[in-house]
Structure 1
């Protein structure tokens, strides 16, 4: 008998969630659609609720941990981050509903932000991510022709030309992207520092046990030469697989070179080389962020120390 996997499934709004035990992706779609009241004959997509990754491969499904949360989307649904969904839910409860037909029932949901920007464009810097997400969602729905609000309405509220309104929309999107990159960089630096601390702890333990340096070096070479099943599966999935690998996994791929990729992914040299170069670029980008943040941290520490020294000197004088 096929082993059952406990899963959770929700709809696009995350307001309904059910626990199911299934043995396959197809069974999850059927049972999930039935639980959520979705027509089983409709076109349904299955995604990871956390990050929107599309799940179509049965082997990948089997590798996921128990109680993984999935999202079922119908043809016209779009995946949104959980924080984005919370923003919409809060506005719906206040009577400022954002839906597919009208986009904004109560213009106050974006009109207040437009008024704020009209008075002072510099307020972009002070906007919360929730406010920026309102504009982002508005743009998405406009592009999908699911919104009655158009650029002329926005331009009128802002007292801008349509061209200037478009520039403002782009600026708001870049601001939101920049904040997301900063958040990811902070998380990456935190993981990097934890990894460094773990390595130092392991080195101290090995020294206390009298570990041989040659054995350690051999272990590293062996680890770099092989690709784990998780790495292989990730590299086979969709577009930009390098963005879903951890920094440590990227280092394993880069250190291994082209041949292990060709052998374990069973692909030609051009495909393996393209993946390797993509991983190298992603790793370089992440390490550059870490170095930049470390430099900033060192600079702040130096400035703080210098300031304290000056204050002490003044006090003594």
Structure 2
């Protein structure tokens, strides 16, 4: 059965599959089996079979299990066969009736089959029968049910669904796609939550830094108040200290002058200012020195290329100048 993307009434001449349903009145033990291809058709049959006065319209159909109002055509198509509906007329309110468990299922052909299907190993068969009756019920299956049908051998599931192995393999692939989409949605939600937590944490850090600036207006103060006095003894600016302490690769965000200052700074004083151990401080200083050397090499290479290019461009001009050539000969 094909389910459209949005609620719509059946077009004239369109043939739609009939869905088996059970109808009853509120607080009544009598129920009637009907077949309807749409929600409107089921509502009309409820008025006729249950002898509901037309003057009490509109008639509302609810699930006997929990009183859920069924007023959407797509939702009606997704419900399994033999779902029990209670028809409410006028201002009637749904009342729970414990004489029925709500959604009813087709009775099995024999009591032996009932006992067999009640075992834990045959749970997938019940889910397969539900899928066989209404393919659109895939959207109502839990992830556990989806995985269970995917893990069932293709040949066994084909026998249960009365389909070929090729068709069942395609069905299992579709079930896997549905399962993957749900997993992707879950991971996306988790990533979004982590991102929001990181933003909140960053906001707290910035707030603390602003409070620290307000309390310690001197630009020579350190990143926190615990190392302020020790940091004032070194030549590095507060911005450089923050970059060293917070950036994952501080050498890439510092200028050549700052790299030179970091590399030449006393390791012990810098370690105290950053509240680091001496080994970590020396490693960062060495990295900054290497970055500075690399930049200087690149600058020298660039100057050499420019000089070589300038000499090549000047040679043709000198050969074409007769006065210059004559002066060189004398």
TM-score if structure 1 supplies the norm length? 0.36
TM-score if structure 2 supplies the norm length? 0.35
Q: Which has the larger radius of gyration?
A: 2
